[in-house]
């Protein structure tokens, strides 16, 4: 009797787990091997970006342009590392969602905090 119950619950679990919709039947699951050519190309781009950002740092571009340019180059470099060295470009949609959610919450933290601090002088106290 006990064995029969255990067996039936196992069958239910098993029928769910082995349904045609389990994750291992979805595309995107097989591992993509990034070629060495791509790794070296990305490496070259990262080195060029580093040289560009150091060079541009000594030129007065006026206003906040120096900061904007340095951060733009840094974001491009980071994106290349994430997409190619970390294989996100070839990863499942679920990986994209997790990476995206991290950046999204980082954005919330920055946006809410900075909107407070940077707007504090906009109004005169009563």
Partner 1 sequence: MTESHIATEHAAGHPALQHHFENMEQQREAGTLGMWVFLVTEIMFFGGMFLAYMLFRSAYPGAFVAGSNHLDINLGAINTGVLIVSSLTMALAVYSTQVGQRGMAVVFLIATMVLGLTFLGIKSVEYRDKYRDSLVPGRLIPGRPFHPAVQEHGAPNDPHKLHLPEGESVKHVELFYWIYFALTGVHALHMIIGIGLLSFMLYFSLRGRYSPEYHAPIEISGLYWHFVDIVWIFLFPLLYLLGRHLEHGG
Q: Which residues bind partner 1 (CB under 8 A)?
A: 10, 14, 17-18, 22-24, 29-31, 33-34, 36, 39-40, 43, 46-47, 50, 53-54, 57-61, 66-67, 70-71, 73-74, 77-78, 81-82, 84-87, 91-92, 94-95, 98-99, 101-103, 105-106, 109-110, 113-114, 117-118
Closer CB to partner 1, residue 2 or residue 31? 31
Neighbours of 84 (CB within 10 A): 19
The C-alpha atoms of residue 90 and residue 83 are separated, in whole angstroms, by 8
CA atoms within 13 A on the CB side of 117: 6
Closer CB to partner 1, residue 12 or residue 126? 12
Neighbours of 77 (CB within 10 A): 19
């Amino acid at each position: 009797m006990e064995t029969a119950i255990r067996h039936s619950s196992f069958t239910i679990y098993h029928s769910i787990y082995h349904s045609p919709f389990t994750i291992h039947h979805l595309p995107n699951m097989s591992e993509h091997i990034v070629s060495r050519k791509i790794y070296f190309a990305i490496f070259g781009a990262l080195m060029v970006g580093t040289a560009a950002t150091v060079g541009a740092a000594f030129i007065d571009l006026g206003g906040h342009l120096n900061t904007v340019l340095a951060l733009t180059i840094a974001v491009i470099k980071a994106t290349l590392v994430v997409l190619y060295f970390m294989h996100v470009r070839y990863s499942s949609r679920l990986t994209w969602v997790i990476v995206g959610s991290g950046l999204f919450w980082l954005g919330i933290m920055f946006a809410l905090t900075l909107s407070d601090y940077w707007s504090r002088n906009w109004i005169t106290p009563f």
